[in-house]
Structure 1
Amino acid sequence: MNNWAPPLIAAALFWLLSPGMIFQLPGKNSPLEFMNMKTTVASIFVHTVIYGLLLMLFFVVLNVHLYIN
């Protein structure tokens, strides 16, 4: 059986947590900006840390699996 949860969750989180896609933390002009489609080195680092922590939460702590035949 194939476990499709990890690649689907990782792809969705990567898309949602891309800096500037939905929010940017920290923003260029304020601490939090929404949908500005711009990025900084600090925001890339913050979004990478958030992405990694959420992946660990889903895969290690919650042990998420989705089996499709």
Structure 2
Amino acid sequence: MSADWGPVITAVVLFILLSPGLLFQLPAKTRIVEFGNMSTSGISVLVHGIIFFAIYTILVVAIGVHVYAG
């Protein structure tokens, strides 16, 4: 019996890409969106968390991403 690694890989990739301040920050301190500023705030963590769970739900539940090893 193989383990389904799709949800794990999807979560790790989205976590890295949606870390506030790494690629972009929404909302930023001076503008609505800033790119690569490497800083964060509480509201941007909340917004990025909501975006993360929305995209994760669409990919894992609605589309059904599956990766089997072995």
Q: Above 0.5 in TM-score?
A: yes
Inter-partner Cα distance in structure 1 for 2:24 and 2:5: 27
Aligned to 1:11, what secondary structure does the other structure show? helix
Inter-partner Cα distance in structure 1 for 2:42 and 2:69: 39
Is residue 57 of structure 2 the alignment partner of residue 63 of structure 1? no
Higher percent of residues as strand:
1
- Structure 1 runs of 4+ aligned residues shifted over 2 Å read none
Q: CA RMSD in A?
A: 0.6
Structure 2: runs of 5+ lacking an equivalent: none
How high is the sequence identity, in percent, across the aligned residues?
A: 41
- Cα deviation for residue 36 of structure 1 reads 0.4
- Using the size of structure 2 for normalisation, the TM-score is 0.95
Inter-partner Cα distance in structure 2 for 1:57 and 1:29: 31
> How many positions carry a matched residue from both structures?
69
Is residue 3 of structure 2 the alignment partner of residue 2 of structure 1? yes
- Cα deviation for residue 2 of structure 1 reads 1.4
Partner of 1:42: 43
Structure 1: runs of 5+ lacking an equivalent: none
Inter-partner Cα distance in structure 1 for 2:7 and 2:61: 11
